[in-house]
């Protein structure tokens, strides 16, 4: 099994990094948090042009097929730049619709997802909340062996990350019932966990890079605080956590691509490692930035506040560890 990225995959990552770096994502995040979706939808369209959403859509519907490794590469960059919106939920919805086996429903939504024209949210379980239901064109709600589609929702709830806006879906029309729904939902959860793990990995790397830069500039007792042994150890621990998580994310992507029986277990392991590593990076950034780390006006806070919600999204660490141990 090859864990190294190909030249094409690395170039894809560099292209996304350059595009997002020039997109002013902090302003986009702040607008999204305020309920203003226009800048976010504009960035969404640019991501679609770059082929990000097509990575979860089969070729017959205008995509490139499910390419889990490239999907992980792209979501690492989305996490690195803290791009807002139901990105994970939309690609998970695409994976769900592709596996559902309904050409009518797939034909309605998948081409629009690939083209960046449709934003979907997907949720499952009793009493579910949908991420960014107010910005989505539709919400797919999976409960047991039934999936419903709705475009109405209750009041928007705030969270630790102000750009993650959740609301309870209301009403809806039954799209499908039966064992195909259950199987499609299981596949969609794998894809969602993989994409979320990659986001956490990218987020953690961005936080670490920002913190390293800061401790080289901040001085105490007339020397840079980055020269203190305790600071070095904290940064080294954060780097090691991220370095250990990265091959797990790539291995999980390869397992999903191969349709391996162990894919669910490997994705869960990657989700735990990357989520915890990203959360560790956020705590390190918060501590080593001192009082600045608590300042909402500082753009870094937009990254710090995403770490814990991403760690818990699509399966808490406890849920994912249980998956690894019981599979």
What gap in Å lies between CA 164 and CA 7, rounded to an integer?
A: 34
Q: Is the pLDDT of residue 126 over 60?
A: no
How would you classify residue 255: left for phi > 0, otherwise alpha for psi between -120 and 50, otherwise beta?
alpha
- Give the pLDDT score at 149: 95
- Give the pLDDT score at 125: 62
pLDDT grade for 4, boundaries at 50, 70 and 90: confident
CB atoms near residue 76 (< 10 Å): 27
What gap in Å lies between CA 308 and CA 282, rounded to an integer?
A: 8
**Would you say 252 and 270 are in contact if contact means Cβ atoms under 8 Å apart?**
yes
**Would you say 99 and 47 are in contact if contact means Cβ atoms under 8 Å apart?**
no
- Give the pLDDT score at 159: 86
**Would you say 67 and 57 are in contact if contact means Cβ atoms under 8 Å apart?**
no
Strand partners, 157: 166
Mean per-residue pLDDT of the chain: 94
**Tokens read off for 215:** 């401790």
Report percent pLDDT > 70 for the chain: 98
Average pLDDT over every residue of 259-282: 97
Classify residue 260 by its DSSP letter.
Answer: -
Which value, in Å, is the radius of gyration of the alpha carbons in the chain?
19
Angle subtended at Cα 83 by Cα 80 and Cα 87, rounded to the nearest 5 degrees: 110
Classify residue 236 by its DSSP letter.
Answer: H
What gap in Å lies between CA 51 and CA 62, rounded to an integer?
A: 10
Beta strands in the chain (DSSP E): 120-124, 130-131, 138-143, 146-150, 152-153, 166-167, 169-170, 173-177, 219-220, 223-224
65: which residues sit within 8 A by CB, 6+ positions away?
57, 58, 59
pLDDT (tens digit per residue) in 49-69: 999 999 999 999 999 988 999
The torsion angles phi and psi of 87, rounded to 5 degrees, stand at -65, -50
Could you say which architecture CATH assigns to the domain 184-325? Up-down Bundle (1.20)
pLDDT (tens digit per residue) in 134-160: 999 999 999 999 999 999 999 999 888
How would you classify residue 313: left for phi > 0, otherwise alpha for psi between -120 and 50, otherwise beta?
beta
Q: Is the pLDDT of residue 101 over 90?
A: no
What gap in Å lies between CA 301 and CA 294, rounded to an integer?
A: 7
Strand partners, 138: 120
What is the reported pTM? 0.95
Strand partners, 223: 220
Per DSSP, the residues of 116-163 read T---EEEEESSS--EETTTT-SEEEEEETTEEEEESEE-PPBP-SSTT
Nearest to 182 by CA among 149, 144, 140: 144
Q: Is the pLDDT of residue 161 over 70?
A: yes
- Give the pLDDT score at 292: 84
Q: Is the pLDDT of residue 228 over 60?
A: yes
Q: Is the pLDDT of residue 6 over 80?
A: yes
pLDDT (tens digit per residue) in 274-311: 999 999 999 999 999 998 888 888 999 999 999 999 99
What gap in Å lies between CA 146 and CA 176, rounded to an integer?
A: 6
Q: With H, G, I as helix, E, B as strand and everything else as coil, classify residue 169.
A: strand
Q: List Cα–Cα distances, 285 to 23, 36, 214, 248, in angstroms.
A: 23, 28, 9, 23
């Amino acid at each position: 099994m090859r864990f190294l990225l190909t030249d094409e995959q690395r170039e894809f990552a560099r292209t996304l990094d350059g595009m997002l770096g020039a997109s002013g994502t902090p302003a986009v995040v702040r607008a999204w948090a305020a309920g203003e979706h226009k800048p976010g939808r504009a960035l969404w369209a640019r991501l679609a042009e770059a082929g990000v959403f097509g990575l979860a859509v089969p070729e017959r519907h205008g995509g490139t097929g499910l390419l889990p490794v490239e999907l992980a590469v792209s979501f690492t960059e989305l996490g690195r730049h803290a791009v807002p919106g139901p990105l994970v939920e939309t690609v998970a919805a695409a994976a769900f619709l592709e596996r559902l086996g309904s050409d009518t429903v797939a034909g309605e939504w998948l081409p629009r997802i690939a083209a960046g024209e449709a934003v979907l949210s997907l949720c499952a379980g009793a009493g579910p909340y949908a991420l960014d239901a107010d910005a989505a064109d539709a919400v797919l709600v999976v409960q047991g062996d039934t999936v419903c589609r709705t475009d109405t929702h209750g009041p928007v709830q705030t969270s630790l990350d102000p750009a993650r806006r959740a609301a309870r879906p209301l009403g809806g029309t039954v799209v499908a019932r039966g064992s195909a729904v259950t199987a499609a939902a299981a596949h969609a959860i794998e894809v969602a966990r993989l994409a979320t793990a990659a986001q956490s990995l990218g987020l953690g790397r961005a936080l670490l890079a920002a913190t390293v830069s800061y401790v080289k500039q901040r001085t105490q007792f007339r020397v840079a605080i980055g020269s203190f042994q305790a600071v070095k150890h904290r940064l080294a621990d954060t780097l090691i956590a991220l370095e250990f998580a990265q091959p797990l994310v790539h291995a999980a992507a390869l397992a999903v691509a191969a349709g391996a029986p162990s894919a669910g277990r490997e994705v869960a392991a990657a989700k735990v490692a990357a989520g915890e590593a990203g959360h560790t990076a956020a705590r390190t950034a918060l501590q080593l930035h001192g009082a600045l780390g608590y300042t909402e006006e500082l753009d870094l806070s937009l990254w710090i506040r995403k770490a814990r919600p991403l760690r818990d999204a699509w399966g808490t660490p406890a849920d994912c560890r249980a998956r690894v141990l019981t599979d």
